[in-house]
Amino acid sequence: MGAQNGKDLLVKVDMTSDGQFQTIAGLRATRVSFNAESVDVTTLDSQGGWRELLGGAGVRSASISGSGVFRDADTDERARQLFFDGETPDFQVIIPDFGIVEGPFQVTSIEYAGSHNGEATYEMSLASAGALSFTAL
């Protein structure tokens, strides 16, 4: 896989719970993280004193963060409303030449900023709220 264009990593939200996704407007930078907690099952009998982990156990999670320019588009309004209502709609994350991750996420933070001689910006964080699916591209 060769170098990829960062603007092709997209975060989309299901606007009306009908399976139709729209890219969140104004994002300039996006980050996706996948995590899995380990379950340590090491005992005094573990070979050579090496740690042993229980495969397939532990909590898996994903987080998304992004920053961009505040545009007051429909998707900006939807993200704000999701935060205040505590909803967990489906999101899609399109990772170029890798795949599409889809599932419920909760908007865990939104920050707005602006300077006197610059544009208004925002930062947003999301946390997975259920099982995610992965489709290879």
Using DSSP's 3-state secondary structure scheme, residue 133 falls into strand
Higher pLDDT, 5 or 87: 87
What's the pLDDT score for residue 34? 94
pTM confidence score:
0.86
Query: What is the arithmetic mean of pLDDT over 17-41?
Result: 92
Q: Which residues pair with 30 in a beta bridge?
A: 66
Length of the chain: 137
* Class of the domain covering 6-136: few secondary structures
C-alpha distances (whole Å) from 49 to each of 41, 42, 46, 58, 127 are: 12, 8, 5, 22, 36
Residues 126/65, Cβ–Cβ less than 8 Å: yes
Residues 12/21, Cβ–Cβ less than 8 Å: yes
Backbone angles phi, psi at 88, to 5 degrees: -130, 70
Q: Both tokens of residue 9?
A: 């990593």
Backbone angles phi, psi at 47, to 5 degrees: -55, 120
Confidence of residue 137 (pLDDT cuts 50, 70, 90): confident
What is the C-alpha to C-alpha distance for residues 32 and 64, in angstroms, rounded to an integer? 5
pLDDT digits 0-9 by tens, 104-129: 999 999 999 999 999 889 999 999 99
What's the pLDDT score for residue 129? 97
What's the pLDDT score for residue 1? 61
Query: What is the arithmetic mean of pLDDT over 21-38?
Result: 92
Q: What is the mean pLDDT of the chain?
A: 92
